[in-house]
Amino acid sequence: MATLAKLSDDGDALYVKLLQVAQSSPDGLRKVFFQADIQALASESAKTLQDLMPLVQELTNHCLLRLSKLDRALCWSARPRDAAKAITLLNPDEKMIYSYVEDAHQKGIWLRELKKRTGVNPNVVQKTMPKLEGAHLVKSIKNIRAPAQKTYMLYHLVPSDDVTGGSFFDAGDLDESLIEELSNLIIFHVRMQSWADTKPKRVKREASPPVLIDDHNDSNGNAKKRKRGATADIEDAPRKYRPTGYDDHAVEIITQLSFPAYTRTYPSAEAIHAFITTTDAIRASKAAQLTVPEIQGVIDVLVWDDKLEKVGDGYRTVRGVSFKPPGYPDDEGEEEGDARFGNGLTQAPCGKCPVFDLCGEGGPVNAGSCVYWAKWLEGGG
Amino acid sequence: MAQNLAELCTVLIENHIGELSAQLFATLAEHGRLTVHTLAEHAKIPLRRVRTGLADLMEEQLALHFAAEEDAPTYYSVNWRNAYNLARHTNIVDLVNDRHGELAGQMVGNILQLGHARTGDLAEAYDLMPASKRDSGVDAAADHMPENGLGNGIAKASSAKASHDMSTFEFHSTLRALLRSGVLVKVGMRAYMPPSDLQEQIEETVISDQFPDRKVTGPKKQHDFKVAINALKRKWREDDAYSDLHDAGSRGAIKRPGDHFKSENKRAKVNGGHANGLLNEGEQSTSKLSDDLVVRVDFSRCTMAMRSRRLEQHAKRFLGGVTAAVYGALLQTLEGKVRAVHDELAADMSDDDESSLPAATAAEVAEILDPAIELGASIKGLATDKTLTNGTGKKGKKPHDDFGDFGIKRELSDSEDEPTTNGYSGYRDRANRLSSIEAHLALLEEHTKRYCKRVRAHGSSEWRVDFPALTATLVEAEVDTTIQARYGKLALRVARMLRERGKLEEKQVASCAMMRIKDIRAILTELQFHGILEAQELPKDNGRQPSRTLYLWFCDTFRVQHLFLQQTYKAMARTLQRIPVERERYRTVIEKAERTDVKGREQEKLEQPEKQALREWREVEERLLSQVDRMDEMVALLRDFSGRDTSLTT
């Protein structure tokens, strides 16, 4: 193998050209070149097929080009130089295994599938993989769809979102805290633009609207600082937004004023995405990774959780929903929730009765023998 | 399916009338329509007692009867709707109290208790008859009512309750207001016939009148037939409906010729001095209602009012109290324009759904809306130039700059000496008020739930409410509330997602809900166990092994709605059944308190602990009953609001 002749200059020039084109194309190294493409790219000296043939053959021998078939036409794609060098050192079995992993590209290939497809002795495959890994040719990744399966892909590739599960997965595990913080941040951002805030009535203020807006910007800025700052500050900070939407008092304390209808554009998923990716709250590498559909997914969940509501093309927070400073326990709907949520059925013992289906007159459980009623009448809960 | 309902109704009837009737009802519910003899046989009750029990049931309109011909046997069947409605009494009284005042509430309460009542008897019960002379000609419907006994019954009930005396005028104007608003309706003869028999009779009449050859086949004839049937139905309904004109007790000389055919039997009543004293009520209030008018409470009308209230509450959750109040006023305005939650006769008049919905203008809303409500304060920017919408003339003239342009109600408005006469005085104030209302309505329209719609895009100010869609929203919200309260927030998230996205596979569910598959699986299984979600199997191969099968999860709101409805019936029955159990615990005290020598003098005759126990008992009973009322609200929502439910039709 070491006997392979040194790469000719023409061949090298062609390879560099192909690599450049491939890297600048959206497909990256996956970019395939058909005969005509290569012909167009090749230098003057190798325009004819006869001249080109040896060059391509040479590159293929050096493993710098990979041969494949697409729609019955032969095509080639470039390989990175160091990978190519490593491949030349492999034995035929390993080469074959490598080519299958390469074909799987960003999706990766399951070890068992690899054994089956190559037809190579499974034990050999088993032994080969660590070797390839050691040579930095392939790597083992975790497929989110099948976490138990051992999956391999080329070393220099980044796993596709299908495999990793997208931005919300961290090494194959759902990054729940990221989602939570992101939701919180979205609520915070949208909340700022959804309702005009006022203080409760008894506070008599001669504040004018500009001041009110200043107030917003101010707290906006504060919050950003807060995000960056130590958590201790947050604990000290007064809770500015109280949930008020649920209060059922005769005199309503208005703290959230609606904006007149059809006068306002509420932030859309794109706008929210733009905010999230530009804010400092999220690590830059992570922020760059987030896509609009992913943000849309978080928004959808927030809508299902009754935190946001769609207005026109944008979103606003549901009345009474408030931004919760990081680290604040999620106390909504737990203890006080019983009084606020629920209805006639669920608040009666029968609504939550575990043996409701058995209950009947003359049955093992009935209205007279029920223990839940006694508790309910006693404790009111 | 009907088992829970039957059980609930039996309990209700037992509480309302007594055990005998309850037993008969249960038998009828089980067996369908029966004659007296077969009924006696099935219920194992002597025929004579069956007759008394049936009379009680019929008096309350809990049983229907029909005989095809003069001497054919009469068949009896249950009236599910009316039986269930016994549970709704408290809610209706509450509603009437809210809208028409305590007095009306009290009267409606009495009428509810009686099932239906003759105006004259009611008046008598309230001690309003100068000299009680019973009218000689009693119309047919009144025959079913043992008048004397009942009349006395109310007298007793009301004399205890009615602490303030009521004038004849008040009585009649309240009654009239209730009739006009549709809460009360006239009872006609046909109210006692099972709908299917009524349908048959109508068809027969139409055939014999308009289709002499008795053939209604062929598309054109079928259509004509249908139209004719609906026309006749409508005509009969109109005949039975109350109208100010026909049902007015005569006012002496002024009597149109047309009046006679309706009120032949009615005697002229002299109206005394009242006519002049009452200015603002208009001339109608001066005429007394006929004594022979038989009225009952129209439950479908009340359902509509309950729906409005519910919608208002729902809007309040999302848009705040002020906007919700405006919405409430809009709904109430619209209520006056439709006959029932779902009018099947009106539906086939026009194919266009949109135009069949009623519409109201902002001015109409303004009339109903409580003038004390501060319209400007809850929308930003609205209060700045409008100042106080309920301001008096003097305020309106003040320059606007004087007021803080912050959306806060000014303290001044309370301390202002000037009386706020009727909400707005100047033209400009009125215009401001109208535009504020429009602003609130626009907010309602803008919301995702589309609480209302402007009829034409711009310019006109008619507003419409798409009730069918909003009813669906309400049902969904109620189902959601139940799911959340029972199974938690995450379960709700999953259920809503599946409702919106349709059928999804486990992994898709997990990725949409942003949760771990393991957690999702637990939720899905729990919800499936309780019947909230269902899974469709999709085998990958012919083997149909579970491991090689895809499961597509989905949530069928309609099914869940009915599941919850049945559960609510059952829970209501259990709650009512619990009352006697609780009573048993306090039996000795209750018995003592009900002894003739103690009754009325509880304060002196009872010991301190006994009084305490009595109070506890009342509290317990109150709590249980109010829980039933709340569950009834749920039943109304899940079953009645759409008006399309057929589970109660007999």
**B497: closest CA of chain A, how far (Å):** 7
For B363-397, how does the pLDDT look when each residue is reduced to its tens digit (9 = 90+)? 888 888 887 777 777 777 665 444 444 433 333 33
Torsion of CA A102, A104, A105, A108, to 10 degrees: -110
Of A261, A301, A341, the CB nearest to B442: A261
Q: Chain B contact for A367, CB < 8 A? A: yes
Which positions ≥6 away from B322 have C-beta within 8 Å?
A252, A254, B373, B374, B375, B377, B378, B440
Instruction: Count the neighbouring beta carbons within 10 Å of the beta carbon of residue B418.
Output: 11
**A73: closest CA of chain B, how far (Å):** 34
Cα distance between residue A101 and residue A108, in whole Å: 7
Q: Is the pLDDT of residue A204 over 90?
A: no
Cα distance between residue B570 and residue B641, in whole Å: 20
Provide the pLDDT confidence category of residue A211 given band limits of 50, 70 and 90.
very low
Q: Give the CA diameter of chain A.
A: 101
The reply to whether residue B380 touches residue A260, judged by beta carbons under 8 angstroms, is yes
* Residue A143 DSSP class: -
Q: Is the pLDDT of residue A202 over 70?
A: no
Q: Chain B contact for A298, CB < 8 A? A: yes
Please name which of A104, A60, A67, A107 lies closest in space to residue A84, comparing C-alpha atoms: A60
Q: Chain B contact for A333, CB < 8 A? A: yes
Residue A358: in which H helix or E strand, if any?
none
Q: What pLDDT score does B524 carry?
A: 93
Which of A343, A353, A357, A359 would you mutate first to test chain B, the one with the most B CBs within 10 A? A343
Q: Chain B contact for A312, CB < 8 A? A: yes
Of A174, A344, A370, the CB nearest to B630: A344
Please name which of B157, B13, B197 lies closest in space to residue B87, comparing C-alpha atoms: B13
Which stretches within B140-218 are classed as H helix? 147-161, 168-181, 195-210
Q: Is the pLDDT of residue B276 over 70?
A: no
Q: What pLDDT score does A350 carry?
A: 87
The reply to whether residue B318 touches residue A318, judged by beta carbons under 8 angstroms, is yes
Q: How far is CA B339 from CA A204, B242, B294, B301, B347, in A?
A: 48, 13, 20, 8, 11
Which residues in chain A have their CB less than 8 angstroms from residue B7's CB?
361
- A83's tokens: 């990978």
The reply to whether residue A377 touches residue B620, judged by beta carbons under 8 angstroms, is yes
Cα distance between residue B22 and residue B328, in whole Å: 39
* Mean per-residue pLDDT, B306-316: 89
Which residues in chain A have their CB less than 8 angstroms from residue B529's CB?
none
Which residues in chain A have their CB less than 8 angstroms from residue B497's CB?
300, 304
Threshold 0.80, pTM exceeds: no
Q: Answer yes or no: are the C-beta atoms of B531 and B598 closer than 8 Å.
A: no
Q: Chain B contact for A214, CB < 8 A? A: no
Which residues in chain A have their CB less than 8 angstroms from residue B377's CB?
254, 257
Cα distance between residue A252 and residue A239, in whole Å: 20
A213-217, B367-371, B643-647, range with the lowest pLDDT: A213-217
- Residue B340's φ and ψ, nearest 5 degrees, are -150, 175
**A295: closest CA of chain B, how far (Å):** 11
Cα distance between residue A79 and residue A16, in whole Å: 11
Q: Answer yes or no: are the C-beta atoms of B151 and B124 closer than 8 Å.
A: yes
Cα end-to-end distance, chain B, whole Å: 15
Of B318, B409, B482, the CB nearest to A343: B482
Q: Chain B contact for A124, CB < 8 A? A: no
Q: What pLDDT score does B526 carry?
A: 92
Which residues in chain A have their CB less than 8 angstroms from residue B586's CB?
none
Task: Give contacts of A 231-270 with B, CB under 8 A.
Answer: 245-246, 252, 254, 256-262
Closest chain A residue to the Cα of B407, Cα to Cα: A198
Domains of chain B: 3-86 (1.10.10.10), 101-182+245-297 (no CATH), 189-240 (no CATH), 300-412+419-465 (no CATH), 470-555 (1.10.10.10), 579-640 (no CATH)
Q: How far is CA A262 from CA A271, A309, A314, in A?
A: 18, 15, 12
Which residues in chain A have their CB less than 8 angstroms from residue B573's CB?
367
**B604: closest CA of chain A, how far (Å):** 29
Which positions ≥6 away from B485 have C-beta within 8 Å?
A337, A338, A341, A342, A343, A346, A347, A351, A352
Which residues in chain B have their CB less than 8 angstroms from residue A312's CB?
446
For A172-188, how does the pLDDT look when each residue is reduced to its tens digit (9 = 90+)? 677 788 888 888 888 88
Which positions ≥6 away from B390 have C-beta within 8 Å?
B371, B372, B373, B374, B413, B420, B423, B424
- For helices B47-59 and B36-43, give the axis angle rounded to 10 degrees: 110
Q: Is the pLDDT of residue B637 over 80?
A: yes
Q: What pLDDT score does A370 carry?
A: 86
Which residues in chain A have their CB less than 8 angstroms from residue B632's CB?
344
Most confident segment among B17-31, B134-148, B195-209, B633-647: B17-31
Q: How far is CA B379 from CA A257, B418, B437, in A?
A: 5, 26, 11
User: What is the Cβ-side half-sphere exposure of residue B205, based on CA atoms within 13 angstroms?
Assistant: 14
- B240's tokens: 């039975």
Q: Look up the ipTM and state it.
A: 0.73
Q: How far is CA B648 from CA A171, B230, B299, B403, in A?
A: 57, 22, 13, 57
Q: Answer yes or no: are the C-beta atoms of B4 and B570 closer than 8 Å.
A: yes
Which of B400, B446, B512 would you mutate first to test chain A, the one with the most A CBs within 10 A? B446
The reply to whether residue B405 touches residue A174, judged by beta carbons under 8 angstroms, is no
Of B322, B514, B631, the CB nearest to A345: B631
Please name which of B471, B461, B394 lies closest in space to residue B640, comparing C-alpha atoms: B471
Residue with more model confidence, B20 or B156: B20
Q: Chain B contact for A177, CB < 8 A? A: no
Q: Is the pLDDT of residue A367 over 80?
A: yes
For A112-140, how does the pLDDT look when each residue is reduced to its tens digit (9 = 90+)? 888 888 877 888 888 888 888 887 788 88
- B17's tokens: 């009338």
